[in-house]
Amino acid sequence: MSNDAQQEQVPNRFCDGIDAMIRSIGHVVMWSNFILVFVIILQVILRYGFGHGLIVLEELQWHLYALGIMFGASYAVMLDSHIRVDIIHARLSEKWRQRWDLFGIIFLLLPFIAIIFHQSLDFVHESWRVGETSDSPQGLPFRWAIKGVIPISFGLLFIATISRAVRIILSLKRS
């Protein structure tokens, strides 16, 4: 979101509280990227320097990627820095941009979130029920824990999206 758009946001205690929570979670999860870079460097040194990489580090890389991407989505929506079709968006007036964003939220993003969230519940439950671990004996245990990130992150994405929609609606009413 541009600085002008951030300054023009309609203050709302509900949205401000949600955004503060998402910002806090985003800043904590952001450190997983630092750990990810360290793990990648360590794995490269072990594999190419000593000829022996570790499966646990390889799997940890994917888990850390998952944390960053899954929780990063709600952070991106909160900042309005997500990907959109800018060819259309850039040619619209501010009012029509907001309407276009609201259309995308209601008819594309929210249904997608609902489907993924709903489908992930059984997926995570079954993984937890059987105590799923890595397929590799040397891999990470508790695969169900990383799968549990799916409904949690999509729940967070849902409330970030609702906050964004409320802000758009308030802004449209104001103009």
Per-10-residue mean pLDDT, the chain, length 175: 50 94 95 96 96 94 96 94 78 91 95 98 96 92 94 98 96 90
Distance from the Cα of residue 26 to its chain's centroid: 9
Quote the CA–CA distance of 41 and 18 in Å, as a whole number.
35
Cβ(168)–Cβ(98) below 8 Å: yes
Quote the CA–CA distance of 175 and 160 in Å, as a whole number.
23
What pLDDT score does 85 carry? 67
What pLDDT score does 175 carry? 80
What pLDDT score does 8 carry? 58
Quote the CA–CA distance of 105 and 108 in Å, as a whole number.
6
What pLDDT score does 91 carry? 87
What pLDDT score does 71 carry? 96
Cβ(54)–Cβ(86) below 8 Å: no
Q: Is the pTM of this model over 0.75?
A: yes
